[in-house]
């Protein structure tokens, strides 16, 4: 009976060892830290990312440009160096040339991290920077008092830089601060519409048939 019990225990031990070899535990990245620091965490194939930002710049209507300021919100998924996201911009318009109005914009874009660099600060903290390029499409709904409306599609493109800190273990979180130069390119509205928006007559004759909005964007990024 004692010999049978010993055999059962031995067989159980062999089965446990075989299961461990067949399904080894995931390696701990930070167990390999040495004098030169820890290896950088591998890129995560998929992640949720959200940004909240402030936008400042100039909005163009038929070649007449005036100030614009507001907020921008973006949310999307990341695959390695690529990110696809949706965005919403809410801006107030106005200044010396155009009457005060509002702009609501919704769009979709694709971003690529062209340059990235960083280092491991501790076993579970990584910090570094990235420079990205992006492009996308959007729909604008601009409104002014008196019933003057401009609804149009646009093309957006930009370049930005961000400083990121990743923290945590196997599934890290990230927080970042970024700034960006952003451009919106769209067809100009009709001359009648443009004339109704100008405070004291529209400068620049003939009026442009294409509009370019230029914005500087700065804000925070959260990802997991």
pLDDT of residue 46: 55
- Which of helix, strand or coil describes residue 36? coil
CA-to-CA distance for 40 and 105, rounded, in angstroms? 38
Span 187-197, pLDDT tens digits: 988 777 777 77
Span 30-60, pLDDT tens digits: 445 555 655 554 444 458 999 999 999 998 8
CA-to-CA distance for 135 and 35, rounded, in angstroms? 42
Task: Tell me the domain boundaries of the chain.
Answer: 57-111+135-155+173-204+212-223
Cβ neighbors of 168 (< 8 A, separation 6 or more) are 124
pLDDT of residue 224: 84
> Which residues are paired to 166 by β-bridges?
126, 174
CA-to-CA distance for 149 and 193, rounded, in angstroms? 8
């Amino acid at each position: 009976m004692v010999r049978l019990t010993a055999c059962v225990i031995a067989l159980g031990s062999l089965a446990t060892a075989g299961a461990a070899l067949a399904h080894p535990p995931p390696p701990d990245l930070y167990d390999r830290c040495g004098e030169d620091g820890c290896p950088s965490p591998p890129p995560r194939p998929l992640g949720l990312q959200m940004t909240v930002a402030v936008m400042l710049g100039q909005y163009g209507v038929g070649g007449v440009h005036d100030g614009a300021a507001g907020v921008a919100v973006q949310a999307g998924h990341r695959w390695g160096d690529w990110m696809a996201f949706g965005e919403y911009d809410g801006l107030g318009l106005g200044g010396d040339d155009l009457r005060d109005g509002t702009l609501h914009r919704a769009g979709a874009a694709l971003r690529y991290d062209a340059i990235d660099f960083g280092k491991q600060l501790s076993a579970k903290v990584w910090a570094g920077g990235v420079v990205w390029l992006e492009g996308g499409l959007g729909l604008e709904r601009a409104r002014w008092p008196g019933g003057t409306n401009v609804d149009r599609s646009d093309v957006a493109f930009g370049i930005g830089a961000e400083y990121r800190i990743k923290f945590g273990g196997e599934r890290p979180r990230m927080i970042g601060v970024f700034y960006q130069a952003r451009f919106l390119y769209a067809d100009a509205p009709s001359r009648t519409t443009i004339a109704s928006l100008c405070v004291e007559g529209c400068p620049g004759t003939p009026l442009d048939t294409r509009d370019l909005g230029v914005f500087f964007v700065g804000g925070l990024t959260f990802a997991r």
